[in-house]
Every structure is written in structure tokens, then in C-alpha cells.
């Protein structure tokens, strides 16, 4: 909790005697009201961001508004899978880096969007399935998060993985068909690659309490209980002409799980209510201390993906709309200060001696976590280096009779039954002293009961 600067807490004279202001609540009086969205949000420790497009950064009206108003940016398309890995293993970061550098030049937070999604996959990935797809997906997460390591405030690690309608379950997709644990595998890989970034799950039609948002809620609760790294949940909030009545309550129930909540892609259909809906969304975020900030999905109406709906805060000429003023006023009305928390499970990195050009390999150990059901299981294995760095590893697992490996990720297996050796892949073979790497596999029958063994080198 941070205490607002004295100058920020202004009690109007007539009300001063009756009002008690808690130390963590910033009440912003007219004299201190900020005049831009970003500065206003910053008064309570929040950000106000926009999705931006690299192709528009040469438009002076666009960048003028961007530089003036916003203190967070999200690449609208430039960090997606099709943009960053157009052919397998060949990464292109040119446009993603343009967004990054624009954000850095503004002193803005940068939200990474999105590491894995069933849409905007490169065609080579669309053609993969099973372990080939799982390995490619985890490698993608690792490579992209590593490229942007230390620069990203929050990553949308997985986007839109839940089904619409009343099931509350996962959406069918090629990624989902690699095994239900693909989401946690992605989060673990992202954490390993960039421990400082907050890791978010992001979705739409989860803006009120409903079957879909409850499905996400249950996943987050499960992740928190099992120590799967997750720090934030994004609520896209592509809204029509109204806001769900339980919008704030929905944010709060997620916040109560111990994750930050963020409004990630806000836009609202133009209509009589547009300014009111925008204000209500802003007030809801301001009322939830763990709501870290709001991102609108574009700057001017002409920049929006919702062609013809005029859903943004600036008109096509760049003029402020009524919705802009209503958002600014709601930000300036203050609220509980956001406790900006770092990612929750940052692994501690012990001091390491700098590696020699061809380091000798130390010892390693392996531990296994099993998630079993009748007839099958998923095994996640953590390989931990001892007091010396490991340069390549092999983990050996004894499978009970009747068990067979059907799918492996982040390792390659020597066999599918009996005593199976799992060898590191190119990106996770080197483990610093005291560090760890993870891989997993799915199997039929009963899972292994003995502790796996690890040999380094």
C-alpha cells in the first residue's frame, strides 16, 4: 500500500469534517486533477494504455495523441505468433520491436500480446498437431519471451482458450488437442524465460459473472493452488451499449484469488450510452485495488477493428469525444491505490560463476508431478541443476506395465514403454547452477510411481 502524496489528498472544505480518507485511498481534488489519461491513472498507481499498430507510427496525429495521453502500449498484432515466427524457428521481431521502442521512448509500460492463441497462428503451426505442435508452441513461448525479457510489464501468455456458451469449458483448438495442460505448460515456459513479466490469461465475454468467466476463475484458482505461475487476468471488454451489472463484482472475485486484473481491450459501441459505459468500466477498475489498469483497443475511431461502430475515445480526426471526458473524470475521482506487485513466484537465482566456453556438466536431479485420471495421466518433470551448471541432461522414467507415452513436450523420448529416457531439446539443455528446466509428457494407463533419475552431460 502506498500513501498518496499529501498534495493529492484534497478534502473539500464543506465536507472535510465528515470525511475520513483511508491512507490507501487517493482522493483527487479539482486542483490536482491530471489532464491526460495516463497521468490521471498514474495518480492511483494504475496505467491507461492503448493498442497500437506499427504501421501507424508515422501518422503525426496518431503519435501526438499516443505520446500525450497514454502510459502503456499493447501491440495490436505485432507480437502475435504469425508475426513473430512466420516460418518455424525463424523469428522476426522488427515490428514488435518498433512497438517496444515506441513504448520505451514514452516511458510507458508494454503489455505483450499474445504468446499463444488459436487465431493468427502461422500456417506451419496450423498444420501441426500432437507433440510436434506442443513442442513448437512451448518453443515459441520461450523464444519470444526471451527476446523481450525484462522489457514487458505483462504478457498475455494465453489468449481466448475458453469456449463461448454455457459449458464453462475449454474451446476446441489444435492447441487444446495437445492436452489440457497446454496452458500451464505455456505459463511455466513464460515464467522460466522472463521471470519479471507478469503472466496473464486474457479472454472476452468474461466481463460479468457467467459460465465462461467462471470456467476461467476455476482455472486460475486451480493454478494458484498448485503453484502454476499466473499473475493476472485480462478482461477484454469489447462491449456493446451496456456493461454487465456485476462487472465490478466479477473483477473483484478474480482479484480475491490474488491475481491482478486488467481491462485489456476496451471498446464500447457508439450510442447514447457510450460515455456512461466507459465511465462505469473505469469506476469499476478504480474501485478494485488490484485492478492494474485499462487499455483501449485503438486510439481513434478510424483505428478500430470495429469498423463503423466508432467505439473509441477519439473521433477519426483525433478530437476528444464525450467518452474521453467521462473516463478522465472517473480516473480523477480517485480510488484505492493499486499495490503494484511483482510476479508472485519469481525463482531465486543463486549467484553463478560465469560459464566457461565449454563448461563441464554438473549433477542434476528430477522431480515429477502427476495429474492422473482413469486411463491416463500428464507428468510434469522438473530438472534441477546442482551447484554446477548442467550442459545437457537425460531423465529416465520407469513406466508401469500397460503405460505408454503418447505425447512429449520440451524433451524427446527414446521409447514409449518400459524404461524411457527423455533428452533435453535445444532450448532447455543448459541449466545454470541451482536453476531448473521443465518438460512433460502425456501417457495412457497408470503414471510412474518411482522418482525419475537424472544424468547430466
Q: Which of 236, 380, 384, 394 binds ligand 9MR (CB under 6 A)?
A: 236
Q: Which of 91, 93, 124, 305 binds ligand 9MR (CB under 6 A)?
A: 305
| 265 lines the binding site for ligand 9MR (CB under 6 A) | yes
Q: How far is the CB of 149 from ligand 9MR (least distance, A)?
A: 22
Q: Where are the alpha helices (DSSP H) in 235-332?
A: 247-255, 274-287, 322-332
Angle, CA 99 vertex, CA 97 and CA 102 arms, to 5°: 105
Nearest by Cα to 9 from 283, 293, 288, 334: 334
> What's the min distance (Å) between Cβ of 225 and ligand 9MR?
28
In this complex, which beta carbon is closest to ligand 9MR, that of residue 191 or of residue 238? 238
Least separation in angstroms between residue 353's CB and ligand 9MR is: 43
List residues bridging with 371 in a β-sheet.
378
Q: How far is the CB of 156 from ligand 9MR (least distance, A)?
A: 8
Give the Cα separation of 369 and 380 in Å (integer): 5
What are phi and psi for residue 134, nearest 5 degrees? -60, -45
Q: Round to whole Å and give the CA distance between 441 and 386.
A: 24
The C-alpha cell 470456467 sits at 215
Alpha carbon dihedral 298, 300, 304, 307, in 10-degree steps, equals 170
Whats the size of the chain, residue-wise? 457
User: In sequence order, which residues have a C-beta less than 8 Å from that of residue 146 and are 6 or more positions away?
Assistant: 193, 194
Q: Quick check: 78 binds ligand 9MR (CB under 6 A)? A: no
In the bound complex, what is the minimum distance in angstroms from residue 281's beta carbon to ligand 9MR?
A: 16
Crossing angle of helices 182-193/211-226, nearest 10°? 50
Q: Which whole-number Å values give the CA distances from 453 to 31, 224, 381, 398, in the listed order?
A: 66, 28, 11, 9
Of residues 334-393, those binding ligand 9MR (CB under 6 A): none
Smaller CB separation from ligand 9MR, 77 or 143: 77
Catalytic, out of 69, 85, 184, 265: 265
Among 40, 43, 72, 77, the residue binding ligand 9MR under the rule CB under 6 A is 77
Residue 265 is among the residues annotated as catalytic for this protein: yes
Is residue 207 close enough to count as binding ligand 9MR by CB under 6 A?
no
Evaluate the CA torsion angle 404, 407, 413, 415 in order and state its sign.
positive
Does 119 bind ligand 9MR (CB under 6 A)? Our answer is yes
Residue that has been written with the C-alpha cell 507480437 in this structure: 79
Q: Is 120 in the site for ligand 9MR (CB under 6 A)?
A: yes
Q: State in angstroms the smallest separation of the CB of 325 from ligand 9MR.
A: 25
Judged by CB under 6 A, the number of residues near ligand 9MR is 9
**According to the binding rule CB under 6 A, does residue 184 interact with ligand 9MR?**
no
Question: Between 119 and 167, whose beta carbon lies closer to ligand 9MR?
Answer: 119
Catalytic residues: 265
For binding to ligand 9MR (CB under 6 A), which residues are involved?
A: 76-77, 119-120, 159, 204, 236, 265, 305
Amino acid at each position: 500500500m502506498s500513501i498518496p502524496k499529501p498534495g493529492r489528498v484534497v478534502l473539500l472544505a464543506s465536507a472535510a469534517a465528515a470525511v475520513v480518507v483511508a491512507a490507501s485511498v487517493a482522493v483527487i481534488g479539482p486542483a490536482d486533477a491530471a489532464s491526460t489519461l495516463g497521468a490521471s491513472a498514474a495518480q492511483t498507481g494504475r496505467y491507461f494504455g492503448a493498442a497500437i499498430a506499427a504501421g501507424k507510427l508515422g501518422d503525426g496525429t496518431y503519435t501526438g495523441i499516443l505520446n500525450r495521453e497514454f502510459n502503456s502500449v499493447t501491440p495490436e498484432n505485432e507480437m502475435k505468433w504469425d508475426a513473430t515466427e512466420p516460418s518455424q524457428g525463424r523469428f522476426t521481431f522488427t515490428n514488435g520491436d518498433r512497438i517496444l521502442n515506441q513504448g520505451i521512448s514514452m516511458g510507458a509500460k508494454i503489455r505483450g500480446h499474445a504468446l499463444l492463441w488459436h487465431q493468427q497462428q502461422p500456417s506451419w503451426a496450423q498444420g501441426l498437431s500432437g507433440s510436434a505442435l506442443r513442442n513448437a508452441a512451448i518453443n515459441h513461448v520461450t523464444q519470444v519471451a526471451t527476446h523481450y525479457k525484462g522489457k514487458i510489464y505483462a504478457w498475455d501468455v494465453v489468449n481466448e482458450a475458453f469456449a463461448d456458451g454455457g459449458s464453462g469449458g475449454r474451446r476446441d483448438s489444435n492447441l487444446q488437442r495437445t492436452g489440457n495442460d497446454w496452458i500451464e505448460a505455456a505459463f511455466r515456459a513464460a515464467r522460466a524465460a522472463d521471470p519479471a513479466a507478469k503472466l496473464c490469461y486474457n479472454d472476452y465475454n468474461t466481463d460479468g459473472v457467467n459460465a465462461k468467466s467462471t470456467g476461467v476463475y476455476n482455472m486460475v484458482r486451480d493454478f494458484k493452488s498448485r503453484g502454476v505461475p499466473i499473475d493476472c487476468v485480462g478482461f477484454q471488454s469489447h462491449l456493446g451499449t451496456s456493461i454487465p451489472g456485476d462487472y465490478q463484482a466479477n473483477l473483484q472475485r478474480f482479484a480475491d484469488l490474488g491475481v491482478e486484473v486488467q481491462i485489456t481491450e476496451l471498446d464500447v459501441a457508439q450510442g447514447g450510452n457510450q460515455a456512461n459505459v466507459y465511465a462505469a468500466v473505469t469506476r469499476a477498475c478504480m474501485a478494485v485495488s488490484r485492478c492494474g489498469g485499462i487499455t483501449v483497443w485503438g486510439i481513434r475511431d478510424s483505428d478500430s477493428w470495429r469498423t463503423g461502430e466508432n467505439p473509441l475515445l477519439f473521433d477519426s480526426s483525433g478530437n476528444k469525444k464525450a467518452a474521453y471526458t467521462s473516463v478522465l473524470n472517473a480516473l480523477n475521482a480517485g480510488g484505492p491505490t493499486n499495490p503494484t506487485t511483482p510476479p508472485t513466484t519469481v525463482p531465486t537465482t543463486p549467484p553463478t560463476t560465469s560459464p566457461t566456453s565449454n563448461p563441464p556438466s554438473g549433477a542434476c536431479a528430477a522431480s515429477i508431478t502427476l495429474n492422473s485420471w482413469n486411463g491416463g495421466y500428464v507428468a510434469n518433470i522438473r530438472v534441477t541443476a546442482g551447484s554446477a551448471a548442467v550442459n545437457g541432461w537425460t531423465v529416465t522414467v520407469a513406466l508401469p506395465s500397460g503405460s505408454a507415452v503418447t505425447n512429449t513436450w520440451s524433451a524427446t523420448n527414446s521409447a514409449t514403454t518400459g524404461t524411457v529416457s527423455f533428452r533435453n531439446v535445444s532450448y532447455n539443455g543448459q541449466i545454470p547452477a541451482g536453476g531448473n528446466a521443465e518438460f512433460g509428457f502425456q501417457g495412457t494407463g497408470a503414471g510412474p510411481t518411482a522418482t525419475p533419475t537424472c544424468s547430466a552431460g
